[in-house]
Amino acid sequence: MTKQIMIGLEVHVELNTKTKLFCSCPTKGNEEPNSRTCEVCLGHPGSKPVLNKKAVEFALKLCLALNCKINPELIFSRKSYFYPDMAKNYQITQYDIPLGKKGKLNLSSGKEIGITRVHMEEDPASLVHPGGMQQSSYVLVDYNRSGNPLVEIVTEPELSNAADARDFMKNLITILTYLEIFDENNNIIKADANISIKESGFVKAEVKNITGFKEIERALNYEIERQKKEVKEGKKLHQETRAWDSEKGLSFSLRKKETEEDYGYIIDPDLVSTEITKEFIEKTKQDMPELAQDKVKKFISLHKISKEDAFVLSQEKLLADLFEKVAEEINPTLAARWLRKELMRVVNYNKKSLNDLEIDESHLIGLLRLVENKKITDNVASKILEKLIEKPFDVNAFVKKENLGAVSDVKELKKYCEEAIKENPQAVEDYKNGEKKALHFLVGQVMRVTKGKATPKEVNEIILKLVK
């Protein structure tokens, strides 16, 4: 089968270091424009860059996680072009010898996507266009971001649809989060996508500046449809650079690309090449956590949970770590079901992220142990979990205090059931006449009276026996 669509990504990831790539200014903090700056990240004459070793370690971790070939030397070049967001009118980046090359990343489907290269570079300043990019007559420059450490990941054009691209981004973010070199809530991840379709003879359009993995699917679907439409209308596509406007949900042409731009690269003579020694690589490897794909394998083989559960739990490091701790004490299948479904439901409902959670594994173990031993019903446990997310408390004490223990004594349950039957003769009659819903009604009555402390299944069985 020949390819229908070819998509390659250039992904820019802001690394989660405390300080900038070439100076000691903080990468985060004061949001007042131009407050986190110094002579280096402002490009003042006389200032010189000094490489942040932590950023190198972070970038190396990513290269290793993506199975890249590591270059023994880290070499920075100057990429020259004039633009108002550039403090020096050149960007310190890597040119023909990137830190890592020839790596790969597996999509959730198992399809392997080639990584052409991974390199480090400094972020330019941010530009603020009052009133919008196309309308504003002037631009404001904020150098707080200038010099923040970035890695750029370039893929082979092996993604074949927008969903694949989204999945690639999602998996990449999972790796970055696992490596703890990227903070999804505070760091920016942006992609430029090269897209071409068979119908045009694969004429490339580069769509710049797509933020986040949800946007990439939107932007690519838009672009694929646009290209198909234009070809259908008999238009000839040109190689061009386009910008994605996420608010309007469309891309617009920035410039036609007649020739490759010439950035006049030279090796940055202010920086010396940094040796990436075997020892450094080994040490970095040792410091690397288990990655999502390793976790999936482990969860299946060690904890014997389903492949699907293992996959879902592994996508978020915090969730995976939490699962591992809980599964030490609780039946793993039960733990898996509760964590991936109930915990995530409650977290999402509260519009929180796992990062915000105040509870830890001890609360979950406490709660699930009660479930496991049938001391409380699922229903009650869910309600307790909802409360726990709001503010942690001692689960056992709470259950005792609120008298939420499950009614599992058959005699007692039977009493409640008999009462329900007695008070609702019409429902019993209806059931006997073949209305199944009437049985649900009776079970519901028992559940209401017991405040959810009874198990619906059990109540169901008892009532069935009684009404027969």
Partner 1 sequence: MQDFVSKVKNNEIDIVEHTHKVIEECKKINRDYNYFNVISDTLALEQAKNIKKNLKNLKNKKLLGVFVSVKDNICVKGVESTAGSKILKGYKPLFNATAVQNAIDQGAIIIGKTAQDEFGFGTFSVNVGVDFKVPKNPFDKNRSTGGSSGGAAGITQKLSNHIALGESTGGSTAAPASFCGVFGLTPTYGLVSRYGLIDYANSLDKISTLGKTMEDASLLLDSISGYDEKDSTSLDVKNNPNKPVKRIGIIKEAFGKGVDKEIEKNVYNGISKLKENGIKTEEVSLKLPMKYGIEAYYLIAVAETSTNLSKLCGMRYGMHEKLEGNFNEYFTKVRSSNFGQEAKRRIILGTFARMVGYRDAFYMKAMKVRTLIIEEYKKLFKKYDALVSPTLPILPPKFSEIEKLSPLQNYMADIMTVSPNLAGLPHLSVPVGFSDKLPVGMLLTADHLQENKLVEIGKIYD
For residues 76 and 182, which CB has a smaller minimum distance to partner 1 in the complex? 76
Q: How far is the CB of 80 from partner 1 (least distance, A)?
A: 5
Q: How far is the CB of 219 from partner 1 (least distance, A)?
A: 27
For residues 271 and 339, which CB has a smaller minimum distance to partner 1 in the complex? 271
For residues 123 and 215, which CB has a smaller minimum distance to partner 1 in the complex? 123
Q: How far is the CB of 56 from partner 1 (least distance, A)?
A: 13
For residues 200 and 274, which CB has a smaller minimum distance to partner 1 in the complex? 274
Q: How far is the CB of 206 from partner 1 (least distance, A)?
A: 19
Degrees, nearest 5: CA angle 182-336-186: 15
Q: Which residues lie closer than 8 Å to 434 by C-beta, 6 or more apart?
A: none
What are the Cα distances from residue 73, in Å, to 23, 94, 217, 271?
21, 11, 36, 12
Q: Count Cβ atoms below 10 Å from residue 268 Cβ, excluding itself.
A: 20
Q: How far is the CB of 45 from partner 1 (least distance, A)?
A: 4
Q: How far is the CB of 95 from partner 1 (least distance, A)?
A: 11
Q: How far is the CB of 238 from partner 1 (least distance, A)?
A: 22
Q: How far is the CB of 297 from partner 1 (least distance, A)?
A: 43
For residues 265 and 398, which CB has a smaller minimum distance to partner 1 in the complex? 265
Q: How far is the CB of 332 from partner 1 (least distance, A)?
A: 51
For residues 39 and 294, which CB has a smaller minimum distance to partner 1 in the complex? 39
Q: Copy the structure tokens of residue 407.
A: 């009614």
Which of 439, 440, 443 lies closest to 413 in space, CA to CA?
Answer: 443
For residues 3 and 53, which CB has a smaller minimum distance to partner 1 in the complex? 53
For residues 52 and 382, which CB has a smaller minimum distance to partner 1 in the complex? 52
For residues 46 and 425, which CB has a smaller minimum distance to partner 1 in the complex? 46
Q: How far is the CB of 98 from partner 1 (least distance, A)?
A: 18
- Paired strand residues for 225: none
SS (H, E, C) the chain: CCCCEEEEEEEEEECCCCECCCCCCECCCCCCCCCCCCCCCCCCCCCCCCCCHHHHHHHHHHHHHCCCEECCEECCEEEECCCCCCCCCEEEECCCCCCEEEEEEECCCCCEEEEEEEEEEECCCEEECCCCCCCCCCCEEECCCCCCEEEEEEECCCECCHHHHHHHHHHHHHHHHHCCCCCCCCCCEEEEEEEEEHHHCCCCEEEEEEECHHHHHHHHHHHHHHHHHHHHCCCCCCCEEEEEECCCCEEEEEEECCCCCCCCCEECCCCCCEECCHHHHHHHHHHCCCCHHHHHHHHHHHHCCCHHHHHHHHCCHHHHHHHHHHHCCCCHHHHHHHHHHHHHHHHHHCCCCHHHCCCCHHHHHHHHHHHHCCCCCHHHHHHHHHHHHHCCCCHHHHHHHCCCCCCCCHHHHHHHHHHHHHHCHHHHHHHHCCCCHHHHHHHHHHHHHCCCCCCHHHHHHHHHHHHC
For residues 44 and 214, which CB has a smaller minimum distance to partner 1 in the complex? 44
Contact positions vs partner 1 (CB under 8 A): 39, 42-51, 78, 80, 82-84, 87-90, 138-139, 141, 260, 262, 264-266, 268-272
Q: How far is the CB of 76 from partner 1 (least distance, A)?
A: 10
For residues 85 and 402, which CB has a smaller minimum distance to partner 1 in the complex? 85
Q: Copy the structure tokens of residue 140.
A: 């404001």
Q: How far is the CB of 38 from partner 1 (least distance, A)?
A: 8
CA atoms within 13 A on the CB side of 123: 27
What are the Cα distances from residue 180, in Å, to 174, 249, 290, 429?
10, 32, 11, 63
